[in-house]
Amino acid sequence: MNTDKKKYLLANWKSHKNTKTARAWLLRFAELYQPAPHVGIILAAPFVHLPLLAELRAEHDLAWLSLAAQDISPFPAGAYTGAVCGEMLQGLVEYVMVGHSERRRHFHETLQEVANKVREATAASMTTILCLDLDYAQAQIAALHHMPEKLLIGYGPVEAIGVTIPQSLQGAAAGITSLGKLAPGVELLYGGSVRPDNAASYAAMAGVSGLMVGGASLDAHEFASICTEVAAVFAATT
C-alpha cells in the first residue's frame, strides 16, 4: 500500500457513530465513491467499529479501503486493563494513528508514550500515522530514536483542527516545508478543517501525499465528494 506514488485520503471519525450509523456510512460511501487506483482511502474509526467495518469490507469487496485505529496501547499484551494492544489489531487494520493532538491535549499523552505507541504499532507490522504539530515535532521525532520504515506523518496544526477558519495555504505550506526538513522522505498527510471547498487546494500543495479529514468525513456524501475531487487533483499532479 505504502508505495512512492500512492496518495491517501483519511477519514477520522474521532469519537463519533454507533454500530448502525457506522454501517450505514460505509455502505453509502461505497455506493458514492468510484475508487481511483492511485488513491488509498483510510477509515480511522473507533476501536469498537473496526470488526464490523472489516467484515463489511470483505463482504462487499471493498479492497480499496484500508482501516486505521485511532490509537494503540503503549504496551504489548498483558495486565493493562482497558488497553487495546497491537496484537488485537492485527488482521483488522493496516494503519494506526498515534499522537493526535486531541490525545495529547485531552488524554495528556507524552512524547515518550507516543514513542512507545509507535514502537507497538511497528512491532505489529502496521503503518504508523504519526500526528505532529510544529511545536513538538522535533522533540517527538527525537523521542522515537529511529524512524520506523512504515510511517506517514499526519500534520495537523492544532489551531486549524475543528475550526471555522482553516489555516491559510501559505501557513500550511510553511509547516509542510519545516516538517519535510525534520523527516526527509516521509510522506505527509495534511489535516485541519479540510472541507469540500478547500480540499483541492490543500491536496495540490507541494509535499502533500494526502489529507486527513475529521468533521467533514462524518457525512458519507460530503467525504465522498472530497475524495472524488481530490482524487482528480492527485491524478493531475502525480
Q: Which stretch binds ligand PGA (CB under 6 A): 57-65, 74-82, 114-122, 214-222?
A: 214-222
Q: What is the DSSP string of 182-212?
A: HSTT--EEEESS--TTTHHHHHTSTT--EEE
**With CB under 6 A as the contact rule, which of the stretches 25-33, 79-87, 105-113, 209-217 interacts with ligand PGA?**
209-217
Alpha helices in 33-124 (DSSP H): 50-59, 86-89, 101-106, 111-123
Using CB under 6 A as the binding rule, whether residue 191 contacts ligand PGA is answered as yes
- Show the binding pattern over residues 154-183: x = contacts ligand PGA (CB under 6 A), - = does not: --x----xx---------------------
| 86-119 as b/e: b if 16+ CB within 10 A | bebbeebbbbbbbbbbbbbeeeebebebbbbbbb
DSSP at 140: H
Min dist. Cβ of residue 182 to ligand PGA (A): 19
Residue 41 interacts with ligand PGA (CB under 6 A): yes or no: no
Residue closer to ligand PGA by CB (options 156, 175) is 156
Three-state DSSP at 47 gives: helix
Binds ligand PGA (CB under 6 A): choice among 7, 12, 43, 187? 12
Q: Which stretch binds ligand PGA (CB under 6 A): 16-24, 120-128, 168-176, 210-218?
A: 210-218
66 near ligand PGA, rule: CB under 6 A: no
Whole-number CA gyration radius for the chain: 17
198: its cell numbers:
478547500
Q: Which of 36, 188, 194, 230 binds ligand PGA (CB under 6 A)?
A: 194
Q: How many residues bind ligand PGA (CB under 6 A)?
A: 13
For 230, half-sphere exposure in the C-beta direction (CA atoms, 13 angstrom radius) is 34
Closest CB 9 distance from ligand PGA, rounded Å? 12
Q: Rounded distance, CA 135 to CA 88, Å?
A: 32
Q: How far is the CB of 191 from ligand PGA (least distance, A)?
A: 3
Residues in contact with ligand PGA by CB under 6 A are 12, 156, 161-162, 191-194, 212-216
